[in-house]
Amino acid sequence: MANPFLVLGGIAVGIITAAFGVLAVPGWVAAAQDASATNDLASIAIAQSATSSKLGTYALLTDLRSGWVKGEGTGVRITTAAPAIHVASNTKGDVWAAVAVSDSGHVLVRTSASPNILRGATPLAAAASTPITGAVVPAGLPTGVTLSGTRAVPTISVEGMGGGYMAENVIVDPSFLDPSRWELAAGYVIVPEGAHGDGNSLRVDASTAPSRLVTPATRTGKYTPVKPGERWQVTGLSKTTPDWNGTTGWSKLRVHYNVSTFIEAAVVVRSDNDWRRISASFTIPAGVTEISMAIAADHTAGTIWWDDIRLEKIGG
């Protein structure tokens, strides 16, 4: 049942606006625009508490969304409404911090150090590329917590709190829980057949079409900024039917730059309907500033499924 106060409020605003023009209530609109980001941060805090209680560690956003951390269920899964949101933790998993940019342009932060949400005094300009710096940064951040990035892609760090940083999966939907984030080629289907007994996976059916692929979205689009010399890792869970005939030349998680220049790949191994983790690590070559990853397929018989796709910086 709809909240009668909200319904009546909407009617009243409509009447007043129609009679007298644009209605402006100082602070009210911004507070309403902050609501979804505030709710997201509250959900993250609840999920972090549950994850830490069960597994003894905090987690990053992709794992909080999937409900799985290193193959173990957390017992809780979140969804977020704010498009610009980021979570960080250290290698020990004993501190965390989260940032969200609300529709009002205000930067909101919550950390494991306090139940309070910190709000920047000045909103960001509307441009997606507006940097997070100066007066938009909330006052009172815990020592060691820093903000950077832009309105569209905010970044929070806890490296200054000690303990390094937890390797972050840049794939925004590694377990295929949000089909709207995927542009699927023919034969690629999201199905309710996750590797962990719940959730989804990506099923790739047989086809005679050559060299098919799907590129996962990351926080920065289809390409992720990198620096030469950094160490990265690509991993995923896959399973195949016994008759699957994909080749090592193309059936893999393929990392590349400059649209198609190959760097490294995690190659699929045929299985008898058993989930197996495949992985490969690599160093970013000189001159490379961004990378992308593709789920590639070339099989003409059998079926393959994918889950828990990860692309992570592990050093450098």
Tokens of 110: 């919550």
Q: What is the pLDDT of residues 134-177, one digit of tens each?
A: 999 999 999 999 999 999 999 999 988 878 889 999 999 999 99
Confidence of residue 210 (pLDDT cuts 50, 70, 90): confident
pLDDT for residue 28 is more than 70: no
DSSP helix/strand/coil, 235: strand
Return the pLDDT at 215. 97
Return the pLDDT at 236. 97
8 A C-beta contact, residue 153 and residue 296: no
- Chain mean position to CA 201: 16
Q: What is the pLDDT of residues 238-296, one digit of tens each?
A: 999 999 999 999 999 999 999 889 999 999 999 989 999 999 999 999 999 999 999 99
Cα–Cα dist 47/73, whole Å: 12
- Residue 136 makes CB contacts below 8 A (sequence gap 6+) with 105, 106, 107, 120, 121, 122, 123, 124
Helix (H) or strand (E) holding 11: helix 4-20
Q: What is the pLDDT of residues 92-140, one digit of tens each?
A: 999 999 999 999 999 999 999 999 999 999 999 999 999 999 999 999 9
Return the pLDDT at 64. 95
Domains in the chain with CATH codes: 28-161 (no CATH), 179-315 (2.60.120.260)
8 A C-beta contact, residue 236 and residue 309: yes
Task: Kindly report the pTM of this predicted structure.
Answer: 0.84
Return the pLDDT at 29. 64
In degrees, rounded to 5, the angle at the alpha carbon of residue 252 between the alpha carbons of residues 263 and 261 is 25
Closest CA to 151 of 77, 75, 85: 85
Beta-strand relationship, 201-205 and 303-315: antiparallel
The total number of residues written for the chain in this structure: 316
Q: Count Cβ atoms below 10 Å from residue 35 Cβ, excluding itself.
A: 14
